Chains A and B, each alone.
Chain A
Amino acid sequence: SQKIEQNSEALNIQEGKTATLTCNYTNYSPAYLQWYRQDPGRGPVFLLLIRENEKEKRKERLKVTFDTTLKQSLFHITASQPADSATYLCALRAGSARQLTFGSGTQLTVLP
């Protein structure tokens, strides 16, 4: 069956370090992958989209990689800040699918 897995439900890191979140998928051939941020009690907010033919995408302190051979995307936040604390969701659309499928998210806490 098709599945999206995001690494450990919770990740704690020290302020100033780089946070790395993982999104693995099985039995998909996604044309692209999206990352969203969700704060408690709020709706997700779009951050980045990376296409299958792109290896890496950057936006300010954020970087996303996409390895279709490993079936994995990595999401990096450099110089992390307590304000980066949130749940981060990956989502992909596979092949001819008409909808996005979301992972369960990784809750990131940046400790001051």
Chain B
Amino acid sequence: DGGITQSPKYLFRKEGQNVTLSCEQNLNHDAMYWYRQDPGQGLRLIYYSQIVNDFQKGDIAEGYSVSREKKESFPLTVTSAQKNPTAFYLCASSKAGGYWDIQYFGAGTRLSVL
């Protein structure tokens, strides 16, 4: 059953703590993306990667970091520098990051601050 798996579904962060959100895909897609969604707002792009070992900043990359060591995996770390991390985080993938690509999304991780 192909798809994108995000874990955990819910995550709590303490002050000064870094937390890592997992995203794995078995669609054999080249491109992967991380979005942040706040209530009443659209999806905002944090980082994206079109190929292994390469990634680019999106519109709101400050306070976040990513890695792309494997095609299937694109973990997102929310660092202590991100002062307002409470949000719904969505991971997506697309076939080749091409112009006409459709994006496939995971079920999301809801991050809250303790």
Contacts and interface: CB of A to CB of B under 8 A. Distances in A.
Interface of A: 4, 9, 31-32, 34, 41-46, 49, 89, 91, 93, 98-105
Contacts, number: 50
B63 interface: no
Given A44-B43, A45-B105, 10 more contacts: A9-B40, A43-B105, A98-B48, A99-B45, A99-B58, A100-B45, A101-B42, A102-B35, A104-B40, A104-B42
A24 to B, nearest CB: 13
A43 B108 contact: yes
Interface residues of B, number: 25
Nearest to B97: A98
16 contacts: A4-B42, A43-B4, A43-B90, A43-B105, A43-B106, A46-B102, A46-B103, A46-B104, A91-B43, A93-B99, A99-B45, A102-B42, A102-B43, A102-B44, A103-B42, A104-B42
